[in-house]
Amino acid sequence: MLWLCACATPAHADEGSRRLDPDVGARIDALMARYQGNVPGAALLVVRDGEPVVRRSYGLADVEAGRVATPASNFRLASVSKQFTAAAVLLLVEDGLVALDAPVERWLPELPAATDGVTVRHLLTHTSGLIDYEEVMPPGLDPDDLDDQLRDVDVLTLLQAQDRTYFAPGTAYRYSNSGYALLALIVERASGTRFEQFLRERIFDPLGMHGTQAYVKEGPEVLRRAYGYSERDGHWVRTDQSLTSAVLGDGGIYASIDDLARWDAALYDDRLLSDASRAMAFTAATPTDDANVAYGFGWRITGDSLWHSGESIGFRNVLVRYPGRRLTVVLLSNRNDPEPYETALQVAALFGAGQGER
């Protein structure tokens, strides 16, 4: 059960948090002190054995309006979104509409000849060698003109003009937002359904994640929305969107810690994905550029943890799972600093996990 709270104290606590040892609660609030007060804030979730033992929020979701962050506030997940894109692909694999080792050109024939060897698996594991679309965006785009925001299909258009790759597919690892934008397009073309609608119908609604959405400006507004901020010259300035914020496959989902608790629960059984699909997602498929980290399908793998961080203009987030311990820590923030991964590990350590992780 998840308890809602709209209190406006510096740390907006909940019934689960009040069951904590007071010393642990105080140490958590100390770790989260930077988010407290009249500043862009954060929401913190700790799930242990299926129960939310910490469900706290700090600071403001909307600085200008003075609206506090709550556990139901929806933050832009940035690259934490990639695990949902990967899950969408795996659902289509289960449906028999997508094959992991099929060439991407089957669904995206517009791609140039240099990408002929790229498969769906390569996209999922960042081993495609595709050119980073952010490196080849047209010069002269006005960063303040958000009417010119790129969409996933624009990423395809940009890559059409790049008849080259960084390396032969499957021979190396390079983190690729381009790959996950193309995965969203594959979901659309294989299913005949717009990506944001597919996520709603096949993942969010079945799991009761009714506040979660892949946000497009012509669609419904994000309810209980946390707006992003960056610190400049000692002041917090709203920096909620950029030219790339509308690309959905690599980072366009908004969610709350309440809905992510439902997502976490679904990753322990077959209510959404089969045992085989979850095993593939959670199994190291490739080393990365960090010797301590491998990559599965939308998940980083470090020791006994599965995790992913997400960073975009005005947001920094992380979700860390310890499946063997039935422990998950989620930290969402609507600010460009600090980086939350180390804080999440410190919180996890208070519950006996994360020792020796980095």
Is-contact 113 163, C-beta < 8 A? yes
Active site residue ranges? 79
Four-point Cα dihedral 163, 164, 170, 171, nearest 10? 160
Based on its alpha-carbon atoms, the radius of gyration of the chain, rounded to whole angstroms, reads 20
CA distance 333 to 316: 5
Cis peptide bond N-terminal to 109, omega within 30: no
- E strands in 27-130: 42-48, 51-58, 60-62, 67-68, 75-76
Closest CA to 51 of 73, 22, 20, 80: 20
DSSP for residue 297: S
CA distance 264 to 328: 8
CA distance 129 to 170: 8
CA distance 288 to 126: 9
CA distance 248 to 85: 9
Please report, as a single letter, which amino acid is at residue 242: S
Other C-beta atoms within 10 Å of 114: how many?
17
Is-contact 85 249, C-beta < 8 A? yes
